[in-house]
Amino acid sequence: MGVDGFGILVTGGGSGIGLGVAKHFAAEGAHVTICGRTEQKLEAALGQIRKLQARAAGSGNDAADASRAGYVVADVAEEDAVAEAVAQTVKRADGRLDGVVACAGGSGWIGPITQLPMEHWRSTVEINLTGTMLTLKHSATVMARAGTGSFVAISSIASSNTHRWFGAYGVTKAGIDHLCRLAADELGPSNVRVNCIRPGLIRTDMVGAITESDNPVRDDYRACTPLPRLGEVEDVAHLARFLIGPESSWLTGQVINVDGGHSLRRGPDFSPWLEPAFGAAGLRGVVPDN
């Protein structure tokens, strides 16, 4: 059993977890389409993916496998762009859409909820929750018609364990968890599976300030994590591959933590970084007088 020849779409595939997932599928011979908002980043990621595909095929020629990988510039909060990314994935895979991994997400602000700017709340809801919903909506339409397929969303440990001062991030990730459970219940009769992965702290560029230097926040993450190492993108990619592949054909509606056991304890303490900016009173919700 494997994923050779599968049609796979990975949103947020230009870097981080998304790129790691896309490379994992490419190495096993899948037709991979990545999407994201920055074309330059997608082009660089595609070069890495095609090298893996060429190596797996034994061709040694990156161009030989060009038809098996591609990218679409798309903001997942824009419905037409998502629909086009799904259509391009199906076209590249000769009519197939076997799996989707919705990795696009993030947050641009951290601080007390009493000072949370509305533009950051709205933008986080759009990319995390609306983006995942639109990706699910349009990919599940294709999968249900075909009577097969697997959708995997990337959530976060912040959806289950409160991460103080994370604003909309954990809230939207909790919404993703419920969205996937709801969709699994609805789409099961069409043999479409929907599952969710909750990563803990994964070593990516986005969290490099935490993972790549000694600092009190990283020390606190370590204190909260039973297994004594940081997470790697491959840890998430291996599970995504399992959830898309035929080995998990009787598994749906699950929310699975990949976090070294962090969810057994508590969320991280960011106060050493945030207190200088907001003050101790600010971190407990006191808004300064103007």
- Domain ranges across the chain: 7-283
Helix axes 16-27, 233-244, angle to 10 degrees: 50
Model pTM?
A: 0.96
Q: Which residues pair with 174 in a beta bridge?
A: none
Extended strands (E) in 84-222: 99-102, 149-154, 192-199
Percentages (nearest 5) of helix, strand, coil residues in the chain: 55, 15, 30
Average model confidence (pLDDT) for the chain? 95
159 pLDDT above the threshold of 90: yes
Give the confidence band of 94 by pLDDT, cuts at 50, 70, 90.
very high
Q: What token pair was written down for 168?
A: 């909309």
| Residue 169 known to be catalytic | yes
Q: Average pLDDT in the 11-40 region?
A: 97
Asked if 24 contacts 237 with a C-beta cutoff of 8 angstroms, the reply is yes
Q: What token pair was written down for 287?
A: 């808004």
- Active site residue: 169, 221, 270, 278, which one? 169
Cβ neighbours of 287 (radius 10 Å): 11
List pLDDT tens digits, range 243-278: 999 999 999 999 999 999 999 999 999 999 999 999
22 pLDDT above the threshold of 60: yes
Compare 52 and 210 and report the one with higher pLDDT.
210
Asked if the 7-283 domain carries CATH number 3.30.70.520, the reply is: no
Question: Given the structure tokens 């909820």, which residue do they identify?
Answer: 113
Q: What token pair was written down for 249?
A: 């054909």
Extended strands (E) in the chain: 7-11, 31-36, 69-73, 99-102, 149-154, 192-199, 255-258
DSSP code at position 162: -
DSSP code at position 196: E
**pLDDT at residue 54, as a whole number:** 82
Of 7-11, 59-63, 95-99, 212-216, the one with minimum mean pLDDT is 59-63
Q: What token pair was written down for 265?
A: 């304890």
**pLDDT at residue 52, as a whole number:** 86
61 pLDDT above the threshold of 60: no
**pLDDT at residue 65, as a whole number:** 57
